[in-house]
């Protein structure tokens, strides 16, 4: 049994429970997968980022061998990461896609050793069904899809077959062009409507409602002010009835606000955004600096009265 997974017994909830008159708050507390549940009423979960890429904006090409990646996984777990999120294709603004073959070539050698060596929750950040299928076959519990099943909906079938969890994120376009699409009639309602569509799409592919989390996609097709608007109004997303994942770590809007282009000087700014996200309803925070952010999460959870 994984020590950082809270095993819960709960009757299956029907989708019609999640309407405007329901007790939405309680629905946000659980994310199920493979007969297990994460209980967010107890704490905010920290997702540590492992970029297996040469071109990620923050730590691309920092690690080069399987052993170096395994060392980093071990380090993040020791620092308090509850989930390790593998990414073998950069999704930074302007990044170019890689082939399925290249993504698998980067991912699988690290993943297949990690799942046998470490007792933790593994997630894979991908928009390709073939990559998701391979990751799930290797024991991954969560697929983190930045497209909300809009790029390759077949991902949903594989998630459903494995009774895995999925994070559905909002983006207005693929990474190479998404910053060209930052105009919204109404930012919050537009992003929420898109996430509702993604939830419906996921359910239509057989994914259980309780296996779904959502991510408003900070930094994906949003301006600096729009990112701040989402953080200020994050609590509105709780009406979707699903746990919220937020990823602000080291992103460029923090550097712009600080007037410092150096990505390594964004720890304090990232800390502020993580605090704001949790206080406004986030259940999972996706971070690079696990050691520092774990402390931020612990204090913020204490302010909220979580155990």
Question: Which uninterrupted H or E stretch holds 232?
Answer: helix 224-232
Residue labelled with tokens 């073959």: 101
C-alpha separations of 58 from 9, 18, 49, 201, 212 in Å: 39, 38, 10, 32, 27
**Closest Cα to residue 69, out of 53, 58, 45?**
53
Sign of torsion, CA 255 260 263 264?
negative
- Residues 17, 30 contacting (CB under 8 angstroms): no
Helix, strand or coil, per DSSP, at residue 191: helix
**Closest Cα to residue 265, out of 276, 254, 275, 253?**
254
Q: Which one of the listed residues 32, 72, 222, 286 is annotated catalytic? A: 286
Report residue 17 as tokens: 């429970």
Cβ contacts of residue 264 below 8 Å, gap of 6+? none
- Residues 248, 219 contacting (CB under 8 angstroms): yes
Has 286 been annotated as catalytic? yes
What letter does residue 152 receive in the DSSP assignment?
-
Q: Which one of the listed residues 174, 251, 266, 294 is annotated catalytic? A: 251
Distance separating alpha carbons of residues 87 and 125, to the nearest angstrom: 5
Catalytic positions are 251, 286
């Amino acid at each position: 049994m994984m020590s950082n997974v809270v095993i819960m017994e709960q009757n299956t909830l029907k989708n019609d429970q999640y309407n405007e008159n329901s007790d939405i708050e309680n629905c946000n507390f659980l994310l199920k997968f493979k007969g297990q549940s994460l209980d967010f009423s107890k704490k905010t979960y920290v997702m540590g980022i492992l970029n297996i890429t040469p071109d990620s904006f923050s730590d691309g090409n920092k690690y080069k061998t399987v052993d170096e990646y395994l060392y980093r996984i071990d380090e993040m777990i020791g620092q308090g990461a509850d989930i390790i999120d593998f990414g073998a294709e950069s999704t930074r603004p302007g990044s170019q896609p890689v082939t399925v073959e290249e993504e698998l070539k980067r991912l699988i050698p690290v993943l297949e050793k990690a799942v046998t060596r470490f007792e933790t929750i593994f997630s894979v950040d991908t928009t390709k069904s073939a990559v998701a299928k391979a990751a799930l076959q290797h024991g991954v519990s969560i697929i983190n899809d930045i497209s909300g099943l809009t790029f390759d909906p077949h991902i949903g079938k594989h998630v459903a077959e494995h009774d895995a969890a999925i994070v559905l994120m909002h983006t207005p376009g693929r990474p190479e062009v998404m910053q060209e699409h930052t105009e919204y009639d109404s930012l919050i309602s537009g992003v929420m409507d898109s996430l509702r569509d993604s939830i419906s799409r996921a359910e239509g592919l057989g994914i259980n409602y309780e296996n779904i989390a959502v991510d408003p996609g900070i930094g994906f097709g949003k301006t600096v002010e729009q990112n701040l608007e989402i953080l200020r109004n994050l609590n509105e997303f709780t009406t979707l009835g699903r746990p919220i994942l937020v990823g602000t770590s080291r992103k460029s809007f923090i550097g712009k606000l600080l007037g410092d282009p150096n990505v390594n000087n964004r720890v304090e700014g990232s800390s502020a955004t993580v605090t704001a996200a949790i206080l406004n309803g986030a259940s999972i925070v996706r971070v690079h600096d696990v050691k520092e952010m774990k402390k931020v999460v612990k204090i913020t959870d204490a302010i909220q009265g979580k155990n």
